[in-house]
């Protein structure tokens, strides 16, 4: 008996899923226990997908999928909050298992959908929602099941990493690099969430659930993207021996969780500094395993479709064994968030004004900001500090309005 599935969306990821099922059916049958067949695919505009019309039945009606009792797994690859939420809710209520790659949805309405799936004894899996092709959520829920994680930090948005790499290595403008990331299928349909850090924030919310058992939302922490960054910042950082990356952090500091998304600096010899283009990387520190780094494509058609397929296969195996309905992650814990104002990191401070080094050193020492390095580059001053908090930095900004940029320095 073949397992019939439906795709909601046939764009970058949906078309990748179609291709994998077509090309790798023999292995899929061996590993899942059944042949997997795409019975229908929901799209908005069927005319756009006529080249696939002989491979899959296209529909514009979700109800056709919902009321088809042969369809056991619904794979949501449309993106956005609505109508994705309503479609997934209806599918679960109809007793269908669900796979989604939608981080916006799982970070916003995850708790509600997860309890609905459990009540309906259906599976709800979403490994592709974080870091595209890197199987990070499944790894956290299985390989880290007994381990205590203290920190996750990483590059979790392929579009911005692609933009930063192209700007720093090929000298492309921000706009040209973003356009290429869109053409390559890395960016969201509306790339605002990518460049403002919101996409990475959704992912850190989901990662925090798997790594720390917490239920947080994107309004609970600071989010900064790369949309205000200028070529000058990248060049200046490079001359100081650093690479700028958009980083998501979730870290246990004395029993409280510190979460943030922001552009940060990495020393150019750090492993993460070498993660380029659409690649993502997650560095996880834990009690038993120590420090581990997971890297691979964080966006793109076939890589993301591979993660979707691992969920489809897991749900198919569960269906064959009649054990659907177990949560993707069991881990749950209450943990307060810590204020990012008090968390200390070394900082890179870039000054606009043509102040003398002497005047600046005096000001920093008056504010008790410990200095690691201070340099003049192109008539501008850069100061690298030892560990300081954002609160200390704010004092500096009040007294000295010419601070043009500040970045945490990560190791
Ligand atoms: N692209 C990537 O690298 C990654 C994407 N993801 C996530 O995967 C999901 C899909 O992304 P991606 O494939 O890039 O998106 P695309 O924009 O490429 O594709 C979206 C598809 O969904 C269809 N669609 C959208 N809205 C509706 C609707 N209301 N009714 C019917 N069909 C609809 C579109 O139809 P039509 O073609 O007719 O317009 C299209 O086929 C998103 O949640 C994204 O965040 C996750 C990891 C990586
Ligand atoms: N737009 C996202 C796609 C994967 O989640 C990204 O660029 O990382």
Distance (angstroms) between ligand 1 centre and the Cα of 9 equals 5
Of the candidates 322, 9, 276, which has an alpha carbon nearest to the alpha carbon of residue 160?
Answer: 276
Give tens-digit pLDDT for 355-409: 667 777 787 888 888 999 988 887 888 999 999 998 888 877 666 557 888 999 9
Residue 46: partners with Cβ closer than 8 Å, 6 or more residues away: 53, 58, 59, 60
Q: What is the ipTM of this complex?
A: 0.99
DSSP assignment of 58-120: EES-HHHHHT-TTEEEEEE-S-SSTTHHHHHHHHHHTT-EEEE--HHHHHHHHHHHHHHHHHT
Distance (angstroms) between ligand 1 centre and the Cα of 291 equals 34
Is 363 annotated in a binding site? The answer is no
DSSP assignment of 275-286: --TTEEEEEEEE
Encoded tokens for 129: 């929602």
Give tens-digit pLDDT for 36-79: 999 999 999 999 999 998 999 999 999 999 999 999 999 999 99
For the Cβ of 194 lying below 6 angstroms from any atom of ligand 2, the answer is: yes
Give tens-digit pLDDT for 335-355: 999 988 889 999 999 987 666
Ligand 1, atom 4, residue with closest C-alpha: 299
pLDDT of residue 359: 76
pLDDT of residue 354: 64
Under a CB-based contact definition with an 8 Å cutoff, are residues 244 and 229 in contact? yes
* Whole-number average pLDDT of the chain: 95
Domain annotation for the chain: domains and CATH numbers:
3-135+301-321 (3.40.50.720), 142-297 (3.30.360.10), 344-409 (3.30.70.260)
pTM: 0.97
**Rounded mean pLDDT, 264-275:** 98
**Rounded mean pLDDT, 6-27:** 98
Residue of higher predicted confidence among 393 and 209 = 209
């Amino acid at each position: 008996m073949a397992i019939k599935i439906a795709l909601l969306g046939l764009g970058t990821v949906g078309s990748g899923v179609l291709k994998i099922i077509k090309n790798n059916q023999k292995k899929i049958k061996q590993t899942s226990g059944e042949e997997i067949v795409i019975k229908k695919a929901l799209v908005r505009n069927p005319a756009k997908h006529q080249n696939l019309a002989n491979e899959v039945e296209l529909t514009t009606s979700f109800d056709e999928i919902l009321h088809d009792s042969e369809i056991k797994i619904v794979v949501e690859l449309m993106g956005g909050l609505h109508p994705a939420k309503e479609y997934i809710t209806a599918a679960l209520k109809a007793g269908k298992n669900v796979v989604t790659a939608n981080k916006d949805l799982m970070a916003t309405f995850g708790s509600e959908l997860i309890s609905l799936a459990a009540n309906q004894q259906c599976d709800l899996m979403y490994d592709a929602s974080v870091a595209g092709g890197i199987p990070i959520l499944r790894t956290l829920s299985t390989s880290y099941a007994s381990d205590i994680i203290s920190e996750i930090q990483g590059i979790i948005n392929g579009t911005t990493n692609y933009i930063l790499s192209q700007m720093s290595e090929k000298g492309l403008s921000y706009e040209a690099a973003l356009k290429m990331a869109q053409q390559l299928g890395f960016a969201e349909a509306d790339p605002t969430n990518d460049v403002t850090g919101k996409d990475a924030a959704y992912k850190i919310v989901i990662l925090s659930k798997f790594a720390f058992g917490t239920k947080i939302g994107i309004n609970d922490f600071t989010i900064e993207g790369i949309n205000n960054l200028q070529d000058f910042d990248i060049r200046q950082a490079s001359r100081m021996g650093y690479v700028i990356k958009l980083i998501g952090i979730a870290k246990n500091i004395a029993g409280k969780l510190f979460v943030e998304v922001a552009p940060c600096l990495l020393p150019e010899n750090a492993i993460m500094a070498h993660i380029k283009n659409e690649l993502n990387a997650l560095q996880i520190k834990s009690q038993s395993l120590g420090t581990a780094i997971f890297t691979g494509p964080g966006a793109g058609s076939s890589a993301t479709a591979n993660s979707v397929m691992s969920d489809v296969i897991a749900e198919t195996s569960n269906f064959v064994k009649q054990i659907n309905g177990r949560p993707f992650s069991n881990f749950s814990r209450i943990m307060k968030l810590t204020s990012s104002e008090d968390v200390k990191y070394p900082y890179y401070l870039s000054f606009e004004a043509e102040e003398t080094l002497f005047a600046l050193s005096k000001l920093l020492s008056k504010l008790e900001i410990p200095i690691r390095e201070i340099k003049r580059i192109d008539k501008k001053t850069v100061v690298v500090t030892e560990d300081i908090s954002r609160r200390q930095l704010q004092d500096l900004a009040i007294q000295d309005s010419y601070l043009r940029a500040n970045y945490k320095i990560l190791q």
